[in-house]
Structures are given as C-alpha cells and as structure tokens.
C-alpha cells in the first residue's frame, strides 16, 4: 500500500488540485485532499511536485525493433506476404529491450505496439504496460486493432520486387478482396454453428480470415498507416464499404483536410506523429508540428504518438510540448497522451486518467512534463514503484 501526499494532482477527467492518492493492490483506492495514512503504508511526500496518470503512446513498435540491433532485432515486418493479419506482436516483443526502461523513466506507462507498415495488412496490435520481464503479464488488451498500411511503404516493399502491390489501386483492391473473403468465411462459420452438424460440412479453418472476424464484428478497429490526404480518404472509403471501425494513424496531411475530417470525427479517431522526424519520403512533404493543434482546435480529438523507434519513446512528453508550442492547447495535449489514446485503444476502463478503481499507473514529476527541463521523480505501474530518480 502506498500513499502519495501533498502533490498537485492532474486527474485529466476531474480537474486538478493539491491532495493525496492511496494505492492498494495495484489500483487507485482513493483520491482526496487529505487521506489518513493506513498502518504499514509507504508514504511518498510529493510536496512541490506534479502528479499525472502514466502517459500512453498510441502507436509504437516497442520491442519489435530492438535498440542497437539490425536484422537480429528487427521483428516487425514479415516481408514475404503482403497480407498477414494473423501475426501478433506478443510472439516477437522483447521486454528486455532498453526502450522499456526509457519509457517508464520518461513517464510513459502504457503503449500500443504494432507491426510495421511494409504489408498491406501487417498483423494485430497489442496494448501493454512498459514494465515487466514477461510479455504475457504486461498485456492490457490483445488485440486492440489490426494494422493496415497505405501508400509508399507497401508499394516500395513489394513493387521493387515486381510483386503486388505496385500501386495504390492494388493496395485498396487487396483490402477489399481480403475483407470480402473474410465476410464469406465468417458467414459460412456462422451457418455451420447454427445448423445441424450432421447436415453441413465445417468450413476449412483459415487462420488469416479468422483473425479478421473481430474487425468485421466491430469489436476492434483497423489501425491505418496513412500519411497523404488521398490515402486517408481511401481508408475511410473502405471502412465505410465494410462497416468497419478505423483509426487514422500518422495523418500527416490532416491539417490540409480539416473540413472533411470534421465530418468523420466521431467515427475515425486520429493519431498524429511522429513529428520529430525528417521528410524522408515524398508523402511526408507536408509534415509539420502544427497538425495536431490545427485538428484539435477545430474540435477533433487527437492522440499523439512517437512511432518508436522513429522517435525514441521517452520523448513523447516533448512531442506534446512542441505541439503546444505550435498551437495545441495544453489541456488538449495532455488528453492526447492520456485519455484520448485510452479511448481509441479501448483500454479506458484501466488507464488514461487518475480515478478510483483504475490501475495505479502514476507518475510524479518535478516540473511541467511538457517542459524539456522537467524530470520524472517517481513512476508507479500497477501499484509498484518501478523507478525513482
């Protein structure tokens, strides 16, 4: 049991005030202005410090591309088949990679780890905590989405080898073909389960199509790698055709189509980043740190991401700070690394704000976390102190 006392608490959902937080059995048991310390309780004096929920990175490749390694540590792209929805990062993430320590020392306690964007359908996405030795015990939700990709990445991966896709037309057509096959497969499975098994043959099991059933049933979204405006609209078009949930990740040209995205804001959440990056390919020519603020100020909820290792995970708070510098309101930047990604990833019941009953993922900061000179004093994940400066 831990009692954090006298800190300035930023709950995200219920305002900010000076007070105490009682942690018990991995959960936030009580938040108040003055809490009496139970017996045998460890007390942390946070006088002069700011307390926030652990930050959430909505799109990373943590543990799939390991720090300081080349091919030996690269496990995010299965570049032998452009359609691999059945792959899951749980079988490739290495929690021993130093990026995990970088994350929790930097105040990031939860991330979504996704396959890369070489394939049209890259695989499933997983939400995990950033502290642990065994990935099975770090899972918040698995899967949270299925990764799809548009534009230059799948084109460059396969087109240069004289394979499909070589064009954006082929990317879209492959998605349509795959989702239609998955729909037919799901219907056949449903018909079999509802019929007399003696009269109907069971359809042959297909792992790829089976993995898309949660998407077709709208239990999880597609997580779309989209930079250009036209790719954003193609992703939305296909999602509408099959009545699918969808998140728009990167959304690099989102600031150019604000009026159109406003029409879709309730249906297709936006995740912006990585913005600390060079314009390494043509579809990034309109990259700017103003995107998040322009979309947010228009009334569109935004999450921020590092795309680690593109931007190292520990710089997520700095990304928020630069977004603020470029027009994003501070309270919206805070939501963009807490409650917005929690909602988008479907893990709001556990993380994203400081509320009684939620996971005790708490970070004590010396200074404003969005200022480059600020430091994490203490990180608590699932009620356990995992870092003290």
pLDDT tens digits for 156-180?
999 888 899 999 999 999 999 999 9
Would you state the pLDDT for residue 58?
98
pLDDT tens-digit profile of 324-337? 999 999 999 999 99
**The predicted structure's pLDDT at residue 69:** 77
Query: What are the b/e assignments for 150-160, b being 16+ CB within 10 Å?
Result: bbbbbbebbee
The alpha carbon of residue 201 and the mean position of all alpha carbons in its chain are separated, in whole angstroms, by 40
For residue 106, pLDDT beyond 70: yes
Average model confidence (pLDDT) for the chain? 96
Identify which of 124, 130, 170 has the alpha carbon closest to the alpha carbon of residue 144: 124
Q: How far is CA 294 from CA 113, 178, 252, in A?
A: 26, 35, 12
Q: What is the pTM of this model?
A: 0.97
Q: In the structure, what pLDDT confidence band is assigned to residue 144 with cuts at 50, 70 and 90?
A: very high
Q: How many helices (DSSP H) and strands (DSSP E) are in the chain?
A: 11, 16
Task: Assign domain 1-53+353-388 to its CATH superfamily.
Answer: Urease, subunit C, domain 1 (2.30.40.10)
pLDDT number for residue 197? 66
Judged against a pLDDT cut of 80, whether residue 30 lies above it is answered with yes
Neighbour tally for 276: CB within 10 Å: 15
User: Within 13 Å, how many C-alpha atoms sit on residue 267's CB side?
Assistant: 14
Inform me whether the pLDDT recorded for 145 exceeds 90. Answer: yes
Model confidence at 18, pLDDT cuts 50, 70, 90, reads very high
Q: What CA–CA distance (Å, rounded) separates 236 from 264?
A: 9
**Boundaries of every domain in the chain:** 1-53+353-388, 55-351
The mean per-residue pLDDT over the stretch 309-320 comes to 97
Residue with tokens 């056949």: 188
Nearest by Cα to 81 from 160, 148, 150, 164: 164
Residue 306 has pLDDT above 80, yes or no: yes
> How confident is the model over 45-104, as pLDDT tens digits?
999 999 999 999 999 999 999 987 788 889 999 999 999 999 999 999 999 999 999 999
pLDDT tens-digit profile of 237-273?
999 999 999 999 999 999 999 999 999 877 899 999 9
Q: CA-to-CA distance for 25 and 87, rounded, in angstroms?
A: 34
Give the integer Cα–Cα distance in Å for 197 and 344.
Answer: 39
Closest CA relative to residue 388, chosen from 368, 371, 363: 363
- Residue pair 133/264 in contact by the 8 Å Cβ criterion: no
Angle (CA) 222-227-233 rounded to 5° is: 65
User: Span 112-128, mean pLDDT?
Assistant: 98
Q: What is the pLDDT of residue 52?
A: 98
Q: How far is CA 142 from CA 91, 95, 125, 135, in A?
A: 12, 16, 7, 11
**How many CB atoms lie under 10 A from the CB of residue 92?**
20
Residue 222, token pair as written in the block = 């597609």
Phi, psi of 19 (to 5 degrees): -175, -160
CATH class, 55-351 region? alpha beta
């Amino acid at each position: 049991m831990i009692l954090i006392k006298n800190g300035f608490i930023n709950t995200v959902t219920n305002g900010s005030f000076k007070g105490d937080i009682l942690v018990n059995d991995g959960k936030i048991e009580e938040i108040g202005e003055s809490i009496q310390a139970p017996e045998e309780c460890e007390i942390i004096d946070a006088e002069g410090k700011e307390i926030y929920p652990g930050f959430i990175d909505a799109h990373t490749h943590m543990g799939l591309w390991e720090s300081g390694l080349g091919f030996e540590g690269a496990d995010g792209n299965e570049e032998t088949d452009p359609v691999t929805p059945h792959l899951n990062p749980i079988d490739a993430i290495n929690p021993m990679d130093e990026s995990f320590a970088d994350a929790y020392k930097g105040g990031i306690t939860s991330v979504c780890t996704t396959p890369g964007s070489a394939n049209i359908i890259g695989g499933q996405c997983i939400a995990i905590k950033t502290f642990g030795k065994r990935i099975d015990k770090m899972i918040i939700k698995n899967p949270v989405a299925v990764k799809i990709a548009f534009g230059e990445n799948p084109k460059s991966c396969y087109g240069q080898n004289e394979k499909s896709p070589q064009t954006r037309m082929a990317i879209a057509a492959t998605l349509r073909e795959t989702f239609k096959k998955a729909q037919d497969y799901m219907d056949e499975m449903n018909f079999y389960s509802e019929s007399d098994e003696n009269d109907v043959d069971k359809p042959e099991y297909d792992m790829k199509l089976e993995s898309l059933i949660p998407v077709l049933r709208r239990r999880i979204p597609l997580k779309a790698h989209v930079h250009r405006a036209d790719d954003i609209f193609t992703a939305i078009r296909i999602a509408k055709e099959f009545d699918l949930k969808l998140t728009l990740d990167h959304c690099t040209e989102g600031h150019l189509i604000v009026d159109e995205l406003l029409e879709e804001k309730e249906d297709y959440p936006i995740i912006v980043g990585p913005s600390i990056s060079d314009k390494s390919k043509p579809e990034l020519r309109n990259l700017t740190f103003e995107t998040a603020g322009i979309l947010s100020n228009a009334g569109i909820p935004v999450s921020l991401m590092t795309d680690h290792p593109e931007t190292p995970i520990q710089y997520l708070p700095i990304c928020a700070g630069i977004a603020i510098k470029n027009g994003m309101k501070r309270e919206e930047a805070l939501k963009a690394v807490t409650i917005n990604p929690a909602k988008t990833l479907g893990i709001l019941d556990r993380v994203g704000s400081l509320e009684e009953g939620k996971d005790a993922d708490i970070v004590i900061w010396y200074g404003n976390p969005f200022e480059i000179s600020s430091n994490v004093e203490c990180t608590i994940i699932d009620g356990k102190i995992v870092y003290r400066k």
